[in-house]
Chains A and B, each alone.
Chain A
């Protein structure tokens, strides 16, 4: 069975296919936008007998330019598209086994498109939900 850290790293690797987007498998002290940060949300163990399958849910939080930036929303919109060079869904699903590490994955939804204050700066953020079967 893959480790949680390995899965996070694999997701970050897939996200690295988006030009200009920083990725982090772990939460950085001071995120520098645009950046995608991977958080584990939930793990359901034993969805098959004999440790045959676990189901993970990850949140990928995308932080882009400050709210005051005129292009912030259009940049974020591009990341939210279902396909295209900047699509987070397309990038994460570009290798659905993470190089054979897991059984399958799927980006299921985008949520929480909003402003967020980080280190006294206000950024636009959005969260992608990823279901991983491993």
Chain B
């Protein structure tokens, strides 16, 4: 896969595809920075090892109160754990060059209304990942 413009990712939240309601998605993963500096380190530089990993997923969405819209997916799951899948490369089959990130999130926040007069109704969330993140390369 070459460089590409992000227009058609697959985004699944709680079993429902929410791609066409999303304007932005960010999967951010990190590892703790654990210092191991001891006396006598070479050159006087600190040393480190990677610690526990964690992550968040951010969505910017167009709000929709329809029967299977955004509100119907987020409001009932507030406080719960939900499965999320993000395949940046699009709807082609999962492969080594079109990986899908699969994980669970804890729904810690949800703004059902977020906008000013005349604005398109939107809502944004930043949810912590709970448990392992899988980078699937085969269906």
Residues of A that sit less than 8 Å from B by CB: 46-53, 55, 104, 106, 108, 133
Contacts and interface: CB of A to CB of B under 8 A. Distances in A.
**Interface of chain B, main secondary structure:** mixed
Main SS class of interface, A: strand
B118 A48 contact: no
Contacts, number: 40
B29 to A, nearest CB: 21
Contact of B120 (A46, A51, A133): A133
B8 interface: yes
Interface residues of B, number: 14
B8 A50 contact: yes
By Cβ-Cβ distance, the 9 closest A-B pairs, closest first, are A52-B20, A50-B19, A50-B20, A49-B19, A50-B8, A49-B22, A48-B23, A48-B20, A46-B7
B21 interface: yes
A107 to B, nearest CB: 10
